[in-house]
Structure 1
């Protein structure tokens, strides 16, 4: 079967008809992006299937499902080069935060994201594979190959998906082994930066009721980041992955599916570039002068990495390496009254990450994390299968997670002494020797007193141990009031328990606990806590015509509280740990610092319809949410240590919409746009003074927006296929993604504001009438330069931009299929 014809089996030849959204207008406020087809002929349009999704815990088409969802077919994921799960945000209006690393703290859906990058908290947007939770930073970002589809659900999903889905959920579905099929494919991608990417799969029968599918991926590519610092070229990307899937169907009413997946990923860590303006940089320039003033400016497409083999990183560079093993089994059994689904999964991972956080040429704030962990989940669900007016499903789930994390921060001691000696004491810049003699009044020199390291490094570290578990039970009722109106009500009760510890060894430096923590421990400081919640969902759906649907819903969301990963709480008198306190124990009176859960009340109305005999689909959604207890990551101004605070209420309004339309015989057009307006209150605990360098406690940030979430995001895809007399086709596509300005922190610092950006890609290909195809492409056609995110900086660390845009890249792809 040719690739073109295989594509026709997906909805609208890849057009995800979206769901849950609203009608309307021509304007097209649109957000949930679709995977568009290679627009086919009239005859092929008649054969197009509708995408069936499972995000609602039952099989529904996108046009039937009363939720805001984007569904992307496996063909679309392949056609537009979506290589890992985070890249799905490019085609999901209202979703942003595709930083080029394995961290999830920048991933945002409707403005909701994970602010805490430590291991004592949880994600805000859940990632799932074949309905099983994928985990956290370092384990959840897997490569996409041989995919069936991806479903991106916007809005709180505590009921449908459970924990860690207060903003939304991204659910991947890999292709299952298919009994009776000998289908297979292989694809090759050759491009700039010495890109060589090969992926493929083969499906075969072992017996009449057992099939096996093998899939694999190899991806090798040189770093595209221009490093202005002394660290040299950043590491290459090297990814190897394989997947073994089986399907066993001993009878018509029983099916057992298994999957074993392994991935090894080696790639550059995030590239940072200091902003050469603002008060932080002016301080740097005044103190260090020519050491930092290289005249490079904030050059787009560049980073400033000084990890050149000196300092603590020796031989590491800035890297993002992971190994993950994923094992799953799913049993589906049909009974006379209901269908039973039992799924279980186990995931084990090792993750190492290192980066130069300061984004400048000085050896300060080099950061690394070494993490290992495993995760086990079991879920059982019973769905009614009768034809009556009442439908229902009930379920229960349980999980356990074990996590061991080592985090290390490294600074050059002389630079720290110079910075604080000059900025706080106004005594000049003569390094640690001058500081200890002139200011502290020691008799000898600093070097005589210290355990001074050859590389002059102050290395501060912390060890985390986490043992987490939880369970949930849920139920949903669906009642058909009339032929056109039905109502649903669901509730999920969940319990999350965490045992956590922090161990801060004494640094090998006379400066002691100087910068990041300000204290050390003689033993792990431990605590445990349990959070419970009951979240409900209610909706009404009205179908006045076969192709038309209106719905209104109310949904509650919940995300458990957690433990701060880099600080301790106050004692019984409400006092913080005094700076440079050593050898704390569990009896010292300073417990682990905790933060409270997040909650959300979300209201949504939607409209979906089809026009022109099914050639145009429209989906519109309007929503409002009230978000309480937002867990915000901030920096302790005196030490720079990362702390997590719950701030007050966040209110948001938004509109999302999509239009997908056939333009004549050979073309299809998708347009999408989202609008988001947010306002946050009670920010004084995390907002610095008006200049951005003062103490927390300022009220000038009140009423400001979630700075990381652009007001407007959008996407457009124009896709076509012109048939030839031979049965082959010429294909072409244009893809554009854009987003509004954002950044600046809650303080709205101009130096960390990110301009509005867009990227575009073009592709031109040939698909044979038999089983092969070839395509030339140019990604980022206009060679836009920029960064995905920014950080205001604190103390010695300046403001930085980070996660460099990939420059214009050309290549050619080819592949073949067989059956």
Structure 2
């Protein structure tokens, strides 16, 4: 039995009092009557395709939220991670290209190397988007975004053990010329531009092209360089997409190509002056008085140009053939990416934690499936899919040699260290900086086979059963380069390899799903489901497994291989109710869940080997509830919002005694939503929209020291606009109205790295947007 606390934190009342707490599925179809027409109070049906066929979201026995094009544009959801903000059960949005902080119901994959896989699956038009460096792309010319909570391995396959995000782009059509142009300008010199054009070429051919660009300065000052205007957290993104449609009778073929160039600042960290354990040790060893300067929105970092740069190319060919009894589909895709990232994770003006990652990779996939029509008493689907992924990465750590010798190892000088360890004199490296480098490469291949059946047992009772089999193979190599300085390998690694050490392993898993859905009345459904999730094992990008003791600071012995970790699995149970009441004026979705994880893959800093290691945590249990609703009491007002409660706890492995060690990094309570007032005016309507996002305090890592925290926060945005029946729209906005100060994350620290916070939120900012749609 699942039980939920009945007491709500007082900090939540401000956010929750704004609403009857509501939904991310605020879909307003493109062909909805104009705002100035007669009142249309009944909510339009939201259609999703998460189960491979179009169906009403209220009839889908999955915890799912949907955002249509208008919701994405109005709320300024700029990239795929922004969907997290307005989806119940999701957390971990940040202003970078990493996805290792994205959590669903508390589950996150925090492995930033390339030997493992994400826990969240991100898909675009049915194609898996990959990992950090390639998965995060801009949202432009989007038809719909779907966010699914809980294990989705059966529906989506690879790496959807905690959930999935499915992006559906606008496709060409042969009906008429149509398109849009969006322009915007805001504080920190933010410039936005988006355009799309649909061109019917003939009865059978159509072309759609779309482009996107945004650029802005940052809002974080680095007090390390007081004479420079080096505001961090800036961005410059350019993306384009072209789609070509061919349709003739039962055949429909779409070829799509896209490209995105991302030039962002790497995430700046701020060390805590309260971490006296680490800072006092550094002060004593170096004879200094280290103080991190600036205020809570500033940083004091020696890395003056942190980077988060990427280039992503992609092509997809999808063919659908209507065979009457089913639709045969083939999806062929290829993606390629280059990625460079750098940050100063120690968050101090000392050079003791400068990290960079240079990565490139390819991803090719093929899927063939048969899906029966979505009507009738019996429906089914079956398919096969396969992939091949290659990734290469070079990781670099930099640290001041004097800090390493004195503070890291406790010697009085680097000369004393080298004489004691090696019996050799010390020769300072260029600029006095120790540089440690390791390289990793992987070739991943796999395939899966799946099928499901859905049967209407009684007029109001539906039962579904699905099963997917997945096989993955990884051939992984790790090369820890010998240091070219007299200090040797003693900082990031206490050993080195003679070229790449390699290993190859295979894993397999099955992910069944069983659900029962009962239609209490035509627009009120209750469902229950049991689902198994699976994610393959992998290899650590920073550790090795040796057949015997490793000579300290020396070459690893023969037979050394990369350090492997096991697959993780989950059983998840859901009970949900979805309904439309009051003639469609009230729509709601309530879900309760309980899950049990085995062998959760987790990263931690091994103080004995001084490296980041991936291991399998024994068991993790979570439960909670997610509520979403849309309320449209009158023509002049509508409200959407969410409320989430999540509790997670681990058992076994990595023992710790602090209270916060019991959880995973997710807020216990969270809420978000939008309330909008509409008023017909001239040939259109004026509107005022208020958005809120509340996140309670989140739990941290398993072995938390308790110095820095991600405190709860509430942000409010206001948008005042006018939408004309002629297709144009003007909007003025204020984001973070009350100038809330919060951070996207906090790090534990330890050894020579102080506890830090990172990703300070943008302060209050204002701007305007102009939009014009034509041809609709």
Structure 1 length-normalised TM: 0.88
The answer for unaligned runs of 5 or more in structure 1 is 1-25, 309-316, 685-697
Q: Which residue of 2 aligns with 1:598?
A: 568
> Where do 1:372-411 residues align within 5 Å?
372-385=360-373, 388-411=376-399
The CA deviation at 1:386 is: 7.8
Secondary structure of the residue aligned to 1:750 is coil
Q: Which residue of 2 aligns with 1:199?
A: 194
Partners of 1:323 and 1:349 within 8 A in 2: yes
Q: 1:546 aligns with which of 489, 507, 522?
A: 522
Distance in structure 1 (CA, Å) of the matches to 2:462 and 2:660? 39
> Where do 1:144-159 residues align within 5 Å?
144-159=139-154
Distance in structure 2 (CA, Å) of the matches to 1:332 and 1:208? 18
The CA deviation at 1:534 is: 1.1
Q: Deviations over 1:211-240 (max 9, x none)?
A: 101100111111122223349513741111
Secondary structure of the residue aligned to 2:391 is strand
Distance in structure 2 (CA, Å) of the matches to 1:32 and 1:68? 12
Q: Which residue of 2 aligns with 1:768?
A: 724
The CA deviation at 1:469 is: 0.5
Partners of 1:651 and 1:679 within 8 A in 2: yes
Distance in structure 1 (CA, Å) of the matches to 2:20 and 2:705? 29
Partners of 1:301 and 1:786 within 8 A in 2: no
Distance in structure 2 (CA, Å) of the matches to 1:46 and 1:734? 20
The CA deviation at 1:436 is: 4.5
Residue 263 (structure 2) pairs with residue 272 (structure 1): no
The CA deviation at 1:139 is: 0.5
Distance in structure 2 (CA, Å) of the matches to 1:155 and 1:625? 9
Partners of 2:25 and 2:46 within 8 A in 1: no
Q: 1:495 aligns with which of 445, 466, 471?
A: 471
Partners of 2:213 and 2:237 within 8 A in 1: yes
Structure 2 length-normalised TM: 0.93
Q: Which residue of 1 aligns with 2:7?
A: none
Distance in structure 1 (CA, Å) of the matches to 2:559 and 2:513? 42
Structure 1 residues 399, 384: CA separation in 2 closer, same or farther (over 3 Å shift)?
A: same
The CA deviation at 1:178 is: 1.4
Q: 2:215 aligns with which of 205, 212, 220?
A: 220
> Where do 1:48-127 residues align within 5 Å?
49-127=44-122
Q: Deviations over 1:109-157 (max 9, x none)?
A: 1111112111000000000000100010000100001110100000000
The CA deviation at 1:208 is: 1.2
Q: Which residue of 2 aligns with 1:755?
A: 711
The CA deviation at 1:291 is: 5.1
Partners of 2:299 and 2:347 within 8 A in 1: yes
Residue 531 (structure 2) pairs with residue 531 (structure 1): no
Secondary structure of the residue aligned to 2:686 is strand
Residue 409 (structure 2) pairs with residue 433 (structure 1): no
Residue 231 (structure 2) pairs with residue 243 (structure 1): no
The CA deviation at 1:729 is: 1.2
Distance in structure 2 (CA, Å) of the matches to 1:409 and 1:70? 40
Residue 137 (structure 2) pairs with residue 142 (structure 1): yes
Q: 172-181 vs 494-503, which deviates more?
A: 172-181
Distance in structure 2 (CA, Å) of the matches to 1:294 and 1:680? 35
> Where do 1:563-712 residues align within 5 Å?
563-571=539-547, 575=548, 577-582=550-555, 584=556, 588-684=558-654, 698-700=655-657, 704-712=661-669
Structure 1 residues 295, 462: CA separation in 2 closer, same or farther (over 3 Å shift)?
A: closer
Q: Deviations over 1:37-91 (max 9, x none)?
A: 6995683526863221111121111111110011011111111111110111110
Structure 1 residues 386, 328: CA separation in 2 closer, same or farther (over 3 Å shift)?
A: closer
Partners of 2:188 and 2:217 within 8 A in 1: yes
Distance in structure 2 (CA, Å) of the matches to 1:47 and 1:328? 37
Residue 479 (structure 2) pairs with residue 484 (structure 1): no
Q: Which residue of 1 aligns with 2:302?
A: 306
Residue 677 (structure 2) pairs with residue 720 (structure 1): yes
Structure 1 residues 795, 704: CA separation in 2 closer, same or farther (over 3 Å shift)?
A: closer
The CA deviation at 1:609 is: 1.4
Q: Deviations over 1:697-746 (max 9, x none)?
A: x452699433311111111210122111x222111100000111124422
Distance in structure 2 (CA, Å) of the matches to 1:192 and 1:628? 47
Residue 483 (structure 2) pairs with residue 510 (structure 1): no
Partners of 1:358 and 1:798 within 8 A in 2: yes
The CA deviation at 1:295 is: 5.0
Distance in structure 1 (CA, Å) of the matches to 2:590 and 2:487? 59
Q: 1:259 aligns with which of 244, 256, 259?
A: 256
Distance in structure 1 (CA, Å) of the matches to 2:421 and 2:531? 59
Q: Which residue of 2 aligns with 1:557?
A: 533
Structure 1 residues 801, 576: CA separation in 2 closer, same or farther (over 3 Å shift)?
A: farther
Residue 25 (structure 2) pairs with residue 34 (structure 1): yes
Structure 1 residues 639, 431: CA separation in 2 closer, same or farther (over 3 Å shift)?
A: farther
Secondary structure of the residue aligned to 2:584 is coil
> Where do 1:778-797 residues align within 5 Å?
778-797=734-753
The CA deviation at 1:577 is: 3.0
Structure 1 residues 28, 63: CA separation in 2 closer, same or farther (over 3 Å shift)?
A: farther
Distance in structure 2 (CA, Å) of the matches to 1:749 and 1:93? 29
Secondary structure of the residue aligned to 2:591 is strand
Distance in structure 1 (CA, Å) of the matches to 2:375 and 2:186? 54
Distance in structure 2 (CA, Å) of the matches to 1:490 and 1:228? 57
Structure 1 residues 32, 418: CA separation in 2 closer, same or farther (over 3 Å shift)?
A: farther
Give the CA RMSD over aligned residues. Answer: 2.2
Structure 1 residues 289, 607: CA separation in 2 closer, same or farther (over 3 Å shift)?
A: farther
Structure 1 residues 485, 616: CA separation in 2 closer, same or farther (over 3 Å shift)?
A: same
Distance in structure 2 (CA, Å) of the matches to 1:504 and 1:29? 56
Structure 1 residues 553, 132: CA separation in 2 closer, same or farther (over 3 Å shift)?
A: same
Q: Deviations over 1:421-457 (max 9, x none)?
A: 44xx6xxxx44135446x6695xxx7xx345322111
Q: Deviations over 1:487-527 (max 9, x none)?
A: 00000000000001001111121111111121111121011
Secondary structure of the residue aligned to 2:493 is coil
Q: Deviations over 1:257-285 (max 9, x none)?
A: 12110000001011100111132233234
Partners of 2:22 and 2:673 within 8 A in 1: no
Partners of 1:34 and 1:91 within 8 A in 2: no
Structure 1 residues 27, 498: CA separation in 2 closer, same or farther (over 3 Å shift)?
A: same
The answer for unaligned runs of 5 or more in structure 2 is 1-16
Partners of 1:29 and 1:675 within 8 A in 2: no
Q: Deviations over 1:771-799 (max 9, x none)?
A: 21111001111111121111111321111
The aligned length equals 752
> Where do 1:801-816 residues align within 5 Å?
801-816=757-772
Partners of 1:465 and 1:501 within 8 A in 2: yes
Secondary structure of the residue aligned to 1:282 is helix
Q: 1:344 aligns with which of 307, 332, 335?
A: 332
